[in-house]
């Protein structure tokens, strides 16, 4: 496996995540193969394993990222509502 700089690793990880989003949204978890994930990112299948143990692992990572973003939006909305309520008092 080639050696990657920290910046290259982060970029590849982000590219994998982006590819995963597209493929999982279009085909679902079952129909998306690890080979497709690697090919869409432009890496070898063996390189994929430097980042994730399985396609399920990247899927779980995507779910966690999505839930974190959703939680941030919910808390931002709560704070906005709270701020409005405090201004009315």
In a domain, 1, yes or no: no
Q: How many domains does the chain have?
A: 1
**Residue 1 pLDDT more than 80?**
no
Measured CA to CA in angstroms, residue 49 lies from 10, 68, 72, 73 at distances of 14, 24, 30, 32
pLDDT-based confidence at residue 49 (cuts at 50, 70, 90):
very high
Distance CA 7, CA 12 (A): 9
What is the arithmetic mean of pLDDT over 17-32?
Answer: 97
Domain holding 38: CATH number? 1.10.10.60
Distance CA 73, CA 68 (A): 9
**What's 26's DSSP letter?**
H
User: Of 57, 6, 15, whose CA–CA distance to 38 is shortest?
Assistant: 15
pLDDT digits over 64-85, tens only?
Answer: 987 767 667 777 777 777 777 6
Q: Which burial class, exposed, middle or buried, applies to 36 when counting CB atoms under 10 A from its CB (0-12, 13-18, 19+)?
A: middle
Domain that holds residue 51: 6-88
User: What pTM was estimated for this model as a whole?
Assistant: 0.72
């Amino acid at each position: 496996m080639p050696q990657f700089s920290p910046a290259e690793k982060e970029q590849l990880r982000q590219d994998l995540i982006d590819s995963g989003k597209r493929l999982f949204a279009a085909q679902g978890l079952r129909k998306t193969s690890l080979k497709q994930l690697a090919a869409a990112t432009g890496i070898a299948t063996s390189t994929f394993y430097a980042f994730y143990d399985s396609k399920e692992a990247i899927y779980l990572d995507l779910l966690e990222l999505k839930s974190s973003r959703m939680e941030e939006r919910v808390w931002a909305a709560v704070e906005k509502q709270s701020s409005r309520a405090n201004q009315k008092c």
